[in-house]
Structure 1
Amino acid sequence: MTDTTSAANRAMHAFVERPALMLRAENVRKTFTLHGQGGIGIEALAGVSLEVERGECVVLVGPSGAGKSTLLRCLYGNYLASGGSIAIRDDDTALQHLEITCAAPHDVLRLRRNVVGYVSQFLRVIPRVATRDLVAAPLVARGVAQDEAYARAETLLARLNVPQRLWPLAPATFSGGEQQRVNIARGLIAQHRVLLLDEPTASLDAENREAVSQLIVEAREHGAAIVGVFHDEDTRERVATRRMPLAAARTQTPLGEAA
């Protein structure tokens, strides 16, 4: 039995036997190849394993370069892991989970729409689209009526202290903190069962960090499984149910050698 098959079998049993399990990563590795520098491989993750259940918020901690953001991007499927297994609960499948590392693109997109939300530090959106429409879009994509989606978007924007006068405007000219709060509202509105948060409070003042922290705590208390990176200790203390330390890997592999 191959390592891949063994990992798949372990994931299948874990999701069937543990109804609260939402995310399972086993021995995840990620190596970046620098083609402009002779094909040197930079090892960003070296065998990271993680399980997250409903109602947990696991905060990744470690020095810069430890691979915290890289792990989140692998969990979301933005980066393809170089090795290991990443599985997320998917009740629409017979196996009750989807293996991100070998899933078809349309299955990954479906999982993102229905199960997994991701909030990065930066707002990347289509220009000239109004803030309210941007925030409501994940609900509209699920078939929620536009009026209801708008109402929920406005509630979130108000809680995040985004001025009402900005709601009809595109956020391209907003301040960094305002854009980040729009990004958070967009990421939280669909109430995904798995949330991946990459320094969502990095550009915020204390008042707005507290507003975001409260929303994260509420999501956790409603059963979301959360993995996050937070730059300040007060936020980590506020939202975390446990912490997972990561150590910098960053080994270099010469061209032609296995990573």
Structure 2
Amino acid sequence: MTLNSPVSAAARAFAERPALMLRAEDVRKTFTLHGQGGIGIDALAGVSLDVARGECVVLVGPSGAGKSTFLRCLYGNYLASGGSIAIRDDAAPTQHLEITGAQPHDVLRLRRNVVGYVSQFLRVIPRVSALDIVAAPLVSRGVDEEEARARAAALLERLNVPQRLWPLAPATFSGGEQQRVNIARGLIAQHRVLLLDEPTASLDAENREVVAGLIVEARERGAAIVGVFHDEDTRERVATRVLALRAPRVAEVEAA
């Protein structure tokens, strides 16, 4: 490892800036269409971003700019094709984990303890109640099951999910009800880094306001947040700053 290597630079950044929680440098993503002769499609131009505690950075840009792709790269669902992504990890000797090239068990540990992710859609788990789905992140951290369920109930109540639905699996819930269950699951563990991909897309104005309030509270607790919000009022309420992404140029796609 040289002093000019990306890992060394990230290590210095996290050591010198105690509030820094996430660093992305020149992150790119290309999808290879193996069924079409291995054609490469650029989905994300080089994106760089530092996020500190108490910040909420909202991603904006046209459709196809890679906003959701960038969030999935930050979470490790997509492997970035280029650049580097590092997230503060106080359990690591270097105080951070480099997502690209990390071992799966390290990524899972980071997700359990540091990084929360809320997508537009709830991955429904058959025969598991909404209450237990929301409580699961706390139980995985060793919180007593009764306490975890009590905290889950309080959050579901605040998000206006009817109590009669709590013992039921969410497969038959409306889109808005499923999304609120998903939000509750993503926020309950109070992760220090939050990635939010259109969490209010299926919600009415009243419930969008509730969710915006929860996001602001997380930010004020010191969470570092990166999100996509197509609702302008929500975006203006939660954002501390905005990062504009651009769609990859046609020339870049052809070159891939």
TM-score, normalization by structure 1: 0.96
2-structure distance, mates of 1:35, 1:20: 42
1:197-222: CA deviation from partner (whole Å, max 9, x where unpaired): 00000000000000000000000000
2-structure distance, mates of 1:153, 1:61: 31
Cα deviation for residue 38 of structure 1 reads: 2.1
Cα deviation for residue 128 of structure 1 reads: 1.3
1-structure distance, mates of 2:184, 2:94: 32
Alignment: residue pair count: 255
Matched-pair contact (CA < 8 Å) for 1:88–1:100:
yes
1-structure distance, mates of 2:151, 2:72: 27
Q: What corresponds to 1:29 in structure 2?
A: 28
2-structure distance, mates of 1:2, 1:178: 50
1-structure distance, mates of 2:239, 2:177: 24
1:120-178: CA deviation from partner (whole Å, max 9, x where unpaired): 00000311100000000000000000111011101100010000010001100000000
1-structure distance, mates of 2:45, 2:185: 32
1-structure distance, mates of 2:44, 2:16: 28
Q: Does 1:172 align with 2:171?
A: yes
Matched-pair contact (CA < 8 Å) for 2:2–2:8:
no
SS across alignment from 1:102: coil
Matched-pair contact (CA < 8 Å) for 1:40–1:253:
no
Q: What corresponds to 1:76 in structure 2?
A: 75
Q: What corresponds to 1:130 in structure 2?
A: 129
What are the residue-to-residue correspondences of 1:65-214 with 2, within 5 Å? 65-214=64-213
TM-score, normalization by structure 2: 0.97
Cα deviation for residue 250 of structure 1 reads: 5.4
2-structure distance, mates of 1:83, 1:27: 7
Cα deviation for residue 37 of structure 1 reads: 2.1
Distance 1:70 1:250, change over 3 A: farther
Moved more, 133-142 or 244-253: 244-253
Matched-pair contact (CA < 8 Å) for 1:20–1:54:
yes
* Fraction of identical pairs, as percent: 82
Instruction: Calculate the aligned-residue CA RMSD, in Å.
Output: 1.4
Matched-pair contact (CA < 8 Å) for 1:65–1:250:
no
Q: What corresponds to 2:14 in structure 1?
A: 15
1-structure distance, mates of 2:15, 2:159: 38
Distance 1:74 1:250, change over 3 A: farther
Give the ranges of 4+ consecutive aligned residues of structure 1 lying more than 3 Å apart after TM superposition.
250-254
1-structure distance, mates of 2:146, 2:127: 21
Matched-pair contact (CA < 8 Å) for 2:45–2:246:
no
1-structure distance, mates of 2:89, 2:249: 33
Distance 1:203 1:240, change over 3 A: same
Matched-pair contact (CA < 8 Å) for 1:42–1:250:
no
